[in-house]
Amino acid sequence: MIPAIMPMYKINPMAKDATTKSKTGTRDRINQRIRQRDKATLTKIVDLADDVAGCAFKGRDIRVDIPTRTRSNTIWNKKRGILQMGDAKSQRELFNLNQAKQFMQTMLHGNSIKELINAQKTLSLRGMFYKGLHTIQGTKSEKTFDGQDESDSILEDLEVGLGALREELHVYAKKRGTMVGNITIVDSGDEIDCRRMGSGGYAVPSITEPDIIQFKKCEAKFVLHVEKDTVWGRFNEDRFWEKHNCILTEGSGQPPRGMRRLLRRLNEELGLPIYCLLDCDPWGHYIFSVIKQGSISLAFESERLAIPSAKFIGVRAMDYARCQLSDDVQIKLNDNDTKRAREIAAYPWFQGNKGWQKEISQMMQNGFKMEVESLITKDISYVTEEYVPERLKKKDWLD
């Protein structure tokens, strides 16, 4: 019997060859785009070095100008609904004792990036910290970086100073975030069917640019983004994405840039609405603010990360009474929570929004915050079978 059924599973050599050629062609196109991108980035780095050398040869102050990444240099573009960086710049001079170390760190990381591009390799943020870490010559214990925070900050300075994305600098962050749903993508030439990702889902990489990820086939009507993987697991196990024809994502708290960029692309390129299910607390509100308008520290990235049309569907302060939840779900607001809530309410993009002012005020009056998981007290699948479907059906959300 075995020989009789064997031909049914025999692979057509011509079909296999065509598939191989197709994958090879896709990877070749991707590699070509990456080479072009790398060439442009190298030119920017060389120009930066030439400017520094030019100052030295002409007897001028040796310095670099870096756009200021502070709240005072952040502009709220009400018409576009995003945060943008202003024109203010700060100078880093080699012969200024207060600025010399940062000048050195900037040049050090610039050289490391040049080496990475030439070698066609990448490093993590942690890896970049260690690559540039050493004891400064002529000292006994002075290090180039006191910690990774210093290193990360310099890398962000280089991004905005060069006008290049971190991904273009061959630097990536830790992977954080998951996706499942009715979409097929191509990741670095490999086709990924996100309908068949099991209980773990597709791990979203830190680089989600079109050079790396392309959308091949999408049947989904919207994206539901949840705050934590525990909530995502409930939605995935209940096959919410299949029943409601959507894509389900999570960002493990505040979503990293890779996830935010992917959400922006799903919204911008495929026209998919983005709905956010986050905790009812100042931190959940802040996460939504970052997804929708962008962040102050990364205002220079808002053009590619912010999603002005994103909606907040819950959890809401009114849900304690509306959903008839028990006192067990209450988590008392502490002083830090109250302070943060007032700060968020004062954001320009929330100040003129009656819905958000009412929401934050109601939470403060309640005196407690709530997690999405609190809805489990109603029923294990209450959030997937009743809460979210009802919010979507009634278009009950905050802009």
Q: Hey, which residues are catalytic here?
A: 130
Residue positions counted in the chain: 399
CA distances from 54 to 141, 164, 351 (A): 32, 22, 48
Other Cβ atoms closer than 10 A to 247: 25
